[in-house]
Structure 1
Amino acid sequence: MHEQEDLMDNAGHSGQESVPALTVSADQDARMAWWREAKVGLFIHWGLYSLQGGFWKGQEVQASYAEHLMLRAQIPVREYEEIAAEFRAERFEARQWARMAKQAGLQYLIYTAKHHDGFAMYDSDVSDYNMVQRTPFGRDPLRELADACREEGVKLCIYYSHSMDWHHPDSQGNIWDYPANIGAYDDVASWIDDEDKRSRYENYLSSFALPQVKELLEKYGPIGLMWFDCGHKLTAEQGTAFVEQVRGVQPDCLVNRRVWMEPYGDYGNSSDNQPHVRVPREDWESIATFNDSWGYKATDHNWKTSVEVLQQMIDVLSQNGNFVINVGPTGDGAFDPKSVELLEQIGAWMQINSDAVYGTRKSPIGKPPWGRSTIKDNTLYLHIFEWPQSGKLVVPGLRNAVLKAYALADTERRALPVHRQNEEDIVIDVPQELMASTIPVFAVDFAGACDASSVSLLYTQDYPNRFDAFDAHIAGSTLRYDTGKKDHDNLVNWKILDDEASWKFRSSGIGHWKVALEYGADEQAAGGSYELSVYSSSTGERVAHILGQIRSTGGWYDFDVVDIGSLSIPHAGEYVLKLGAASLEGDMLMCLKRIVLEPS
C-alpha cells in the first residue's frame, strides 16, 4: 500500500517487544529537563539534493521525499558528487535561520549534518566529502549555525544518518555502484550471516560513522540531541555503540529512539508525518513537514495550513509528546516563501498562547470532541478546534474546584462564567467574539493537586461523539492498527470472530444517540456482519445492541459513513462500547476508521 521509500522511517518499529532494555541512568530526568520544557522544535533538511529540487537531468524524479533523489534515480556516486561544485548557498544566513525558529516559538533546531546521500554539510575531518572542501561556498554552515543558535537562545541539535550512506563503498543502500553492498530495503536478517557484507559494514561504522558522530560532538559546543535515523537497519549492539559514543563525549546530549529501536534512546519517535499515533512511551516526539517532502522539492505544493499544523502540534502535546516541524531550504540556502509564511503564522499564535505549550504535560481529561487540552502546574489549558454553537463549553472530567477561567488572548484575563454541571464536569460560557480566532485557548486555574478523569464523556449537544480506531483497545490475534499516516488511521486485518475493538466512555445521564460506522470495505474481499454493544462497567449488563451487515464501499480505503441505527443509555455511569464480527464472509470484515454517536 506504500511506496518503498516510506519504509525507511522506522515505520512499524516503534513498539517492538522482547528487545533488550538499556539501563536508565540516575540523571535521566535532569538530561531530559530542557526537552520536556521546550516541547516544539524546527527540523531543517538541507543538502546537495536541495539544489536539484527533485529533478535530475531535467526530469522530475518520482520520489515523495526529495532527499532520496540519489537512491530513487540511482545516480552514480561520481555524477552525484558533481552537484557539490555548483553548491554556492549564496543566500544562506545562519542568524536568519535561528531567528525564524525563535520568532515562530520553536525552541530547538535539528540540522542535517549528513543525510543518507553521505555528504557532510559541515567541515568534517573524517571525510573530505564535505561542505568546506567540495563546494564553492567553502564555509562551515554548522559552525555559523551553532553560533547563531547560541545568540538567539535556540537549542542546537544535530541529525546524522548513521546506518545508511549511499556514497560510502561499505555502507548500506547503494547497490548500483556497489553491487555487493547491503540494499536500502534489506533487513538485518538478510545480511547478518554474510561475512563479507557484515564485516565491510562494520568497517564503515567503526572507521567512518562513529568518528563523524564523535567530531560533531567535539567541534560545535553543547549539542541538545543527536537525532539518528533508520536504526532498525542496525543490530542492537551496533545501536548501542552510537549511544555509548554520544555518552562518552557529551553525557548530557539526548539520543532519539531511531538510534536503534524500542526501548533505545532517551525518548520515542513516531514515524514521519504520522498524525495518528499509539504512544509507545512517556516521552516521545512527532515530526512533520509543511508539505510532503523533507528536502526542498520544487513541485511539492501540497501545503498544510497553519491551522492544520497547529492542531497536529496540539494533539501531540496533549499526549505528552514534543512536536517538530520541518523546513527544506532551497539549494541557495533560503527558506521558501510559503514556509516563511507558515512559520510567521505559527509564531503569531505562539505569541498569544505559548503558556499552553512550553513545559506542559499530557491532558488529564482525554480527548474532548471540541479539541485538546494540556496542563501545567494548577492550570488546565483548553485548545478549541471546534466552537460550541451553544456558547457553552463542557469541560469533562475535572473534579477540582475552579478558581478562574479566562481566555489567553485576553490581556486583562477577565474571568469567564463557570458553573459545575456535576461532580466531574464544568461548563464555561465562552465569548462569541473569539469564535473566528485561530484555535483560541482558555485557561482554567484550579485548586489542589489535579483530580481528573480521562474517560470520554458522551456529549448531548454541540458535537458528535467520535470513537476513533486509533483510540480503541483491540483484542484478537489478527486485528491491528494501520500506520497512522494520512488516510491510514484505521484498523486492519479484521479476520477472525475473536477480533474486537472497544472504547470506554461515560454518560452523565439518560440519552439517545444516532450511530454511524465509518469504514472501508473491498467489494471482492470484504463481507460479514457486525455486532455493536454497550455494556455497563459497573454491572457488566448489556444495555444497547445493534446488529448489521457490512456492505462494499468500493475499496479498503474508500471510507464511507454508514448510518446503522440508534442506541439509548439508561442512566449515568461508565460504559464500554464494543464492536465485533458476528459473521465473516470474506477475507476481512472491514477497515474501521471510527464509530460516531450523534446526539438525537
Structure 2
Amino acid sequence: MRENDTWDALPQRLPDWFRDAPLGIFIHWGPYSVPAWAEPTAELGAIESDLGWFAHNPYAEWYFNTSRIEGSPAREHHRKVHGDAPYDDFLDQWDPSAFDPAAWAELFRRAGADYVVPTTKHHDGITLWDAPGTGDRNTVRRGPRRDLVGEIARATTDAGLRFGVYYSGGLDWHVRPTEPLVSGEDVGDLKRPRDDEYGTYCSAHMRDLIDRYQPDVFWNDIGWPDENFHFEAGGLGELLEHFYSQRPEGLINDRFAGAHQDFVTTEYQAGEIPEDQPWENCRGIGLSFGYNQVEDESQYMSGAQAVRHVVDAVSKGGRVLLNVGPRADGTLPELQVAVLEALGEFMAEHKAQLAGSRGLGELEIPGARWARAVEQDGTCSVFLSGPQGDLAIGAADLPEGYDWPAGGVTVELAGEDAAPVAVSARRTDDRR
C-alpha cells in the first residue's frame, strides 16, 4: 500500500545544474547492438494506435521481443540471418574492441551536453556491470568482459559532465520471462512483473549503481513492480531515500508508476508537455535508440533538425536527452557523430542563451518558417529558420514587453536546411 504522507516526504528536486542543462546524451548499447536490426517504420507517437507497433517496432533494443513475434519482419530476419539463435549468443559475440569512452565523452562535451545517461540494464536483463544476482549474465563475466558502466562513468565525470543511469525496472525478459509483448496493455499491465521479489532484485541493482558510480540521474523505465512500493528493506521507498541521501544534487524521472518524480519525460512524439513542471524529451537521432544497421539518412535527423529540436524544447521549458546508439564494436555511427558535431557548432555560440533561460515558446513571424524565443536576464533571444535571404522583423513580431534596440532588425536566414540564426531583443517593461 502506498502511504502518501511517507512518499510525499521524499525530496522534490530541481537542482541548478539540471535546470540549466539544455541537452543530455542518452546511450543505448547492449547485446542488441550485435544484430542491430529493426524495421524502420515511424517515430513513437506518430501512429495513433499501438496495434501493429510491436510487430513492426523500430527500436532495435527491443530485438529480443520483436524477433519472437510470429509474422513480424524481425522474426523472419532472425530466422534467416541468425538461424533462430538464442538471444544470449549475442552477449557472447559482443566485442567492443574499438570502444573509447574518453573519446565519447569528449564528443558529448563538444556537442554542448551537460549530462550522460547510459543504459545499465535494458529489458533483456543483461547488465553492463557486474550486478548482484546476475551470475555470469553481464558484460564483466561474458562477452565484452568489461565494466562498461564504470568506464563510461569515469570518462563522463573526467570530461566535467554529470553522470546518470538508465535502468529498466518495469521489464526483465530473463528474470521474469513472458510471451512476446504485442500491445501497450501488455507492457503496462498484463505481462509486467508486479512481485516484491523482483522489485527487491531491481532495488539491489540500483543501490549497487548508486554506491559504485554516484549517478546524479536515476532514469527508470516502464514502471516498477507494485508489491515493492514500500519503505522496508529492499523496497522502492527505501531505495529512493538512499539515492537522495547519497546524491544531494540527484533527481529521478517520472517512470516509477506514479510513486514519485522530479521531472516529466516525453519520448519522440509521445507524451504531453506538462505545465509548470520540469520536463525532458528523449529520442534517438534516428527512429531507434539502439543502433539499427537498416537506418540511413532518410531516417536520421540532420544537424539543423537536431538544433531546432533542442531549441524548441528549451523554448517550452524543457530539455532534450538525445540518444546515440553505438555499434557493437564501440564506434559511433558517422551520421550520429555528424549530428553531434553540428550541435556542437551551434551550442558553442548559443548555449549561453539557452542555459538557464525562461522559455517564451513559438513565435509567428511572417517570412520565417520556424521561430522560437527564450529570455534570460531581460534579453529575449529569437531563433529563426526559413528560406535563404534577408528578413525584416518589427517589434510587433516579438512577445509583448520586448523591442529591438532600434525598433526593428533585419536578419539573414541561411536556408531551411541550416541551423537557425539568433537575434536579441530587450525587455521594455519591469515584468519578470
Q: 1:187 and 1:167, CA in 2 relative to 1: closer, same or farther beyond 3 A?
A: closer
2:160 corresponds to 1:153 = yes
DSSP 3-state at the match of 2:420: coil
Which structure has more RCO (C-alpha within 8 Å, separation ≥ 6)? 2
Distance 2:182 2:227 in 1: 17
Aligned to 1:175: 179
Q: 1:350 and 1:183, CA in 2 relative to 1: closer, same or farther beyond 3 A?
A: closer
Aligned to 1:593: none
Greater shift, 428-437 or 140-149, is seen at 428-437
Distance 1:292 1:190 in 2: 26
Aligned to 1:82: 89
Greater shift, 281-290 or 93-102, is seen at 281-290
Q: 1:386 and 1:277, CA in 2 relative to 1: closer, same or farther beyond 3 A?
A: farther
2:138 corresponds to 1:130 = yes
Match of 2:301 among 273, 281, 304: 304
Distance 2:237 2:325 in 1: 27
Match of 1:39 among 8, 18, 22: 22
Structure 1 residues 260-309: Cα deviation after superposition (integer angstroms, max 9, x where no partner): 23x73101111x21188442542111112111011011001211111222
Aligned to 1:504: none
Matches within 5 A, 1:103-502: 103-128=110-135, 129-135=137-143, 137-168=144-175, 171=176, 174-175=178-179, 185-186=185-186, 190=190, 198=194, 201-206=195-200, 208-220=201-213, 222-231=214-223, 234-235=225-226, 238=229, 241-242=235-236, 244-249=238-243, 250-252=246-248, 253-261=250-258, 264-270=260-266, 272-274=267-269, 277-301=272-296, 302-363=299-360, 367-369=363-365, 370=368, 371-386=371-386, 390-394=391-395, 395-399=397-401, 418-419=406-407, 428-432=408-412, 438-446=419-427, 449-450=430-431
Distance 1:278 1:143 in 2: 33
8 A Cα contact 1:378 1:448, kept in partner? no
Q: 1:441 and 1:390, CA in 2 relative to 1: closer, same or farther beyond 3 A?
A: closer
Q: CA deviation at 1:238?
A: 3.1
Q: Which runs of 5+ in 1 are unaligned?
A: 1-18, 406-416, 420-427, 452-600
DSSP 3-state at the match of 1:145: helix
Q: 1:265 and 1:254, CA in 2 relative to 1: closer, same or farther beyond 3 A?
A: same
Distance 2:184 2:413 in 1: 54
Question: How large is the RMSD of aligned CA atoms in angstroms?
Answer: 3.3
8 A Cα contact 1:132 1:140, kept in partner? yes
DSSP 3-state at the match of 1:257: coil
Q: 1:133 and 1:329, CA in 2 relative to 1: closer, same or farther beyond 3 A?
A: same
8 A Cα contact 1:275 1:312, kept in partner? no
Distance 1:218 1:355 in 2: 33
Q: CA deviation at 1:362?
A: 2.0
Q: CA deviation at 1:87?
A: 1.3
Q: Which runs of 5+ in 2 are unaligned?
A: 40-54, 69-74, 79-83
Distance 1:24 1:32 in 2: 18
Structure 1 residues 25-54: Cα deviation after superposition (integer angstroms, max 9, x where no partner): 5x645x522110112101000000001111
Amino acid at match of 2:293: A
Amino acid at match of 2:21: A
Query: What is the percentage of aligned positions where both structures have the same residue?
Result: 22
Matches within 5 A, 1:16-55: 22-23=7-8, 28-29=12-13, 31-54=14-37
Amino acid at match of 1:308: Q
Q: 1:88 and 1:190, CA in 2 relative to 1: closer, same or farther beyond 3 A?
A: closer
Q: 1:236 and 1:344, CA in 2 relative to 1: closer, same or farther beyond 3 A?
A: farther
Aligned residues: 385
Q: 1:255 and 1:230, CA in 2 relative to 1: closer, same or farther beyond 3 A?
A: same
Distance 1:100 1:145 in 2: 13
Distance 1:314 1:64 in 2: 26
Structure 1 residues 353-384: Cα deviation after superposition (integer angstroms, max 9, x where no partner): 11222111221x65434411111222211111
Amino acid at match of 2:262: D
Query: What TM-score results when the alignment is normalised by the length of structure 2?
Result: 0.80
Query: What TM-score results when the alignment is normalised by the length of structure 1?
Result: 0.58
Structure 1 or 2: larger strand share?
A: 1
Distance 1:328 1:264 in 2: 29
Aligned to 1:8: none
Distance 2:230 2:109 in 1: 33
Q: 1:236 and 1:352, CA in 2 relative to 1: closer, same or farther beyond 3 A?
A: farther
Distance 1:88 1:187 in 2: 31
8 A Cα contact 1:256 1:267, kept in partner? yes
Distance 2:18 2:272 in 1: 20
Q: 1:346 and 1:275, CA in 2 relative to 1: closer, same or farther beyond 3 A?
A: farther
DSSP 3-state at the match of 1:313: helix
